[in-house]
Amino acid sequence: MRGSPRHGTALGLIVLLLLLVATNTTSTTTTTATQLAQGVPSEHLLVQLHEDVQEQAHQLATQYGFQSARKLPFGEGLFHFYPQDTSKSRSKRSARSRQRLQKDPRVKSVVEQDGFSRQKRGYRNLNDIEVNLNDPLFSKQWYLINTGQADGTPGLDLNVAEAWQLGYTGKGVTIVFLSFLNAPLCSFQNADASYDFSSNDPYPFPRYTDDWFNSHGTRCAGEVSAAANNNICGVGVAYNSLVAGIRMLDQPFMTDIIEASSISHMPQVIDIYSASWGPTDDGKTVDGPRELTLQAMADGVNKGRGGKGSIYVWASGDGGSYDDCNCDGYASSMWTISINSAINDGRTALYDESCSSTLASTFSNGRKRNPEAGVATTDLYGNCTLRHSGTSAAAPEAAGVFALAIEANRDLTWRDMQHLSVLTSKRNQLHDEVHQWRRNGVGLEFNHLFGYGVLDAGGMVKMAKEWKTVPERFHCVAGTIQENHKIQSGSKLVLAIDTEACQGKDNFVRYLEHVQAVITVNASRRGDLNINMTSPMGTKSILLSRRPRDEDSKDPRGTWVLEVGFRGDEPQRGVLKEWTLMLHGTQSAPYIDQIVRDYQSKLAMSKKEELEEELDEAVERSLKSLMSKNN
Ligand SMILES: *[C@@H]1O[C@H](CO)[C@@H](O)[C@H](O)[C@H]1NC(C)=O
Ligand SMILES: *[C@@H]1O[C@H](CO)[C@@H](O)[C@H](O)[C@H]1NC(C)=O
Ligand SMILES: *[C@@H]1O[C@H](CO)[C@@H](O)[C@H](O)[C@H]1NC(C)=O
């Protein structure tokens, strides 16, 4: 198949191959192929030459009136001949030069490329949106609809307008803010679900202080539930949702009991718990939920919401590049959905931490001086603010998007919500200067800081509506190494666990959802330690915590590799004492056709160059996987 000139697009090929892998039926293949839009002629040519020589291609291209030729990686002698410019007056001439080119003896074949329409996802003109809201700050809420306010990037937003237009505003969904709350500006409150664990009474009202320390919950709640059309402040992501408050941070010390009580408060009434707190983000703390809180979380996902599971949304942390959110056992737990933040032009915020457990991102302030680049929301004392900030501001936006999804489909489980986040989040126009975007084993793009991209409310409610709950989940201890291995600066320790993922047993995990690596290691300096793990499919995750996680849904059988080393100037040593690998996932395939659709749309969005680069890899991967399945 490689090396033959293609009439269709590179895109078509990937989709077909993937479908073959996914379903093995030709009927599905046809359906998808016909979804490709009819194109209009472009002046771009796919030219195959008898000789695979770049200089000759360039010379031919200029001779026949093209700007130049670029070698394509799809086969021998294939080149992209591109025009000098796109002015229409040239098209007659280019038609003639195409005919002459076709007759040149050095040319094997010429295929004209169709031009088809690809809209920037999420880009909309504010005037095109039938959202007429009178709330004065609405136009400053760029995270809802980004038209380029405050020097932002148009289209880089949560795409809530689409969800609202489909009729989803969070009706009947209860979100609780684990913080403190005074939300007279929110449309609907669920007072019964509120509680004050800081002073043990049912009234979670903030203690008024001069330093605005207690504004947190009010600001967070406003982002989700601020009423629409009341002429006050702005609008919440899920402006018809019910909001409750749990005051639990306003005492000198946190206790396991307060945490556990908060997290397990009224799990049959509360759908979503939004937490924008965690261990100190000082770059040297490794901490997480204690015994009771862990149990409360496990009970929440297993028994909350009538067994569908409580949704825990977590801010990934504000420690900046010196911290690693995998060291935060709340954010890195597989039971929470941890959310990072992007700023209004798609860059990372200065306070963002990166880690493998971040699932997706929403928006917050950071880097920009423009006072309107912050998050506009409700504030204490009946005021509004334009300056809500940090990943604290990002997590509630996610809670709002999840409320819209639950309204669209009440049957979504806590795992469905994670799958939906992975499948519908978009790279959009995010850029991270430190970590590259990569594809995991099933071809989904992810980034070590942003996760799978920004949440897309419109995409999420549409998929949620059609969603079938993922198959039953199984847990497998894939392998364990329990002997001491020395680690030293200057040479890294490489360990491998070869696993059958409990194949042949009741708890066989065929399709992976979460991976946990339980690692016990001592070191002369913990901060210099770095740990990476690579899956059998070649997805590398950078770990540091004791309970890391990666989201991947391909076959977990094969060899997992752990690399442990030191970075830093001083020589360090340590001992790895245990590595146990836990796999969690399903035995039957989840949503194969959804994945293919998503892959298709993500490819459509990515830049052409990247697409071409990745084409080869994707084809290889698909073929490999096809072959291994046939074995
Ligand atoms: C909040 O509103 C009050 C009354 O409208 C006003 O006096 C006060 O300055 C405002 N505070 C802030 C921080 O904007
Ligand atoms: C780590 O543990 C080993 C074996 O238990 C011990 O010999 C060593 O002194 C410890 N090293 C550090 C840096 O604590
Ligand atoms: C882990 O991966 C990071 C990023 O690719 C790299 O800089 C680091 O050296 C790796 N560490 C080990 C121990 O392999």
The pair of structure tokens assigned to 38 is: 């009819």
pLDDT, mean of residues 420-425? 91
Q: Give the pLDDT confidence score for residue 122 in this predicted structure.
A: 27
**Helical pair 608-630 and 10-23, crossing angle rounded to 10 deg:** 20
Give the closest residue (by CA) to ligand 1 atom 6: 383
3-state helix, strand and coil shares in percent for the chain, rounded to the nearest 5: 30, 25, 45
**245 CB-side CA count, 13 A:** 30
Residue whose tokens read 């237009």: 165
In short, whether 26's Cβ falls inside 6 Å of ligand 1 is no
Give the model's pLDDT for residue 29.
Answer: 22
Counting ligands in written order, the one closest to the CA of 526 is: 2
Least confident of 155-159, 242-246, 404-408, 495-499: 242-246
Confidence bin at 220 (pLDDT 50/70/90)? low
Q: Which of 485, 489, 532 to mutate to test the pocket of ligand 3 (most atoms within 8 A of CB)?
A: 532
- In angstroms, what is the span from residue 493 Cα to ligand 2's centroid? 16
Percent of the chain with pLDDT over 90: 33
Please report, as a single letter, which amino acid is at residue 356.
S
To the nearest 10 degrees (0 to 180), the angle between helices 592-605 and 414-424 is 30
Q: How far is the CA of 415 from the centre of ligand 3 (A)?
A: 30
Which whole number is the average pLDDT over 151-176?
Answer: 93
**By mean pLDDT, which of 124-133, 221-230, 296-305 is the weakest?**
124-133
Give the three-state DSSP class for 422.
helix
328 Cα: distance to centroid of ligand 3 (angstroms) = 20
* CA distance linking residue 259 with residue 297, whole number of Å: 10
pLDDT at 596: 47
Chain Cα centroid distance, residue 465: 20
Instruction: Determine the average pLDDT of the residues in 435-444.
Output: 82
91-103 confidence digits (pLDDT tens): 556 677 788 899 9
H/E segment holding residue 387: strand 384-388
Q: Give the Cα separation of 113 and 83 in Å (integer).
A: 12
Lowest-pLDDT choice from 255-259, 383-387, 409-413, 453-457:
383-387
211 CB within 6 A, ligand 1: no
DSSP 207-249: PP-TT-GGGHHHHHHHHHHBPSSSSSS---TTTTSEEEEEE-S
With b for 16 or more beta-carbon neighbours within 10 A and e for fewer, the 295-310 pattern comes to ebbebbbeebbeebbb
Residues having CB closer than 6 A to ligand 3 are: 492, 530, 532, 542, 563-565
Does residue 522 line the site of ligand 2, with CB under 6 A? yes
In the beta sheet, which residues pair with residue 541? Answer: 533
Which numbered ligand comes closest to the C-alpha of 532? 3
Q: Which atom of ligand 1 is nearest the CA belonging to 385?
A: 14
Q: How far is ligand 1, taken at its centre, from the CA of residue 137, in Å?
A: 16
Grade residue 286 by pLDDT with cuts at 50, 70 and 90: confident
Across 105-114, 513-522, 576-585, least confident range: 105-114
Q: Which ligand is nearest to the CA of 486?
A: 2
Higher pLDDT, 253 or 12: 253
Looking at ligand 2, which atom is closest to the CA of residue 523? 13
CA distance 127 to 162: 14
Q: Identify the weakest region by mean pLDDT among 167-176, 366-375, 404-413, 424-433.
A: 366-375
Q: Give the Cα separation of 349 and 364 in Å (integer).
A: 8
Q: What is the pLDDT of residue 626?
A: 40
Within 10 A of 118 (CB to CB), how many other CB atoms are there?
Answer: 10
Closest residue by Cα to atom 5, ligand 3, is 542
**pLDDT at position 59:** 93
The reply to whether ligand 1 has any atom less than 6 angstroms from the CB of 381 is yes
- pLDDT the model gives residue 544: 60
Which residue would you say has higher pLDDT here, 16 or 287?
287
Query: With 50 as the cut, is the pLDDT of residue 120 above it?
Result: no
d(CA 550, CA 500): 19
The 10s digit of each residue's pLDDT in 588-606 is 777 654 444 455 555 555 5
pLDDT confidence bin for 608, thresholds 50/70/90: very low
Ligand index nearest the alpha carbon of residue 561: 3
Q: Is the pLDDT of residue 498 over 50?
A: yes
d(Cα 107, Cα 587) in Å, to the nearest integer? 51
**Which among 520, 521, 516 has a CA at the least distance from the CA of 533?**
516
Which residues partner with 114 through β-bridges? 41
Instruction: Check whether 475 has a pLDDT greater than 90.
Output: yes
Please choose, from the candidates 281, 244, 271, 298, the residue with its C-alpha nearest in 3D space to the C-alpha of residue 289.
298
Nearest Cα residue to atom 1 of ligand 3? 532
Instruction: Give the atom of ligand 2 at the shortest distance from the alpha carbon of 574.
Output: 13
| Nearest CA owner, ligand 1 atom 9 | 383
pLDDT classification of 352: cutoffs 50, 70, 90: confident
d(C-alpha 561, C-alpha 531), whole Å: 10
| More confidently predicted of 321 and 576 | 576
Q: Which two tokens stand for residue 436?
A: 């590259």
pLDDT, greater one: 120 or 305: 305
**Residue with the nearest Cα to atom 10 of ligand 1?**
383
Query: So what's the pLDDT on residue 230?
Result: 75
- Token pair, residue 507, equals 């708890």
* Closest ligand to residue 543's CA: 3
Q: How confident is the model at residue 155 (pLDDT cuts 50, 70, 90)?
A: very high
Give residue-wise pLDDT tens across range 181-191: 444 444 456 77
* pLDDT reading at 14 higher than 60: no
Q: What is the pLDDT of residue 629?
A: 39
In the reported structure, the alpha carbon of residue 374 is separated from the centroid of ligand 1 by a whole-number distance in angstroms of 18
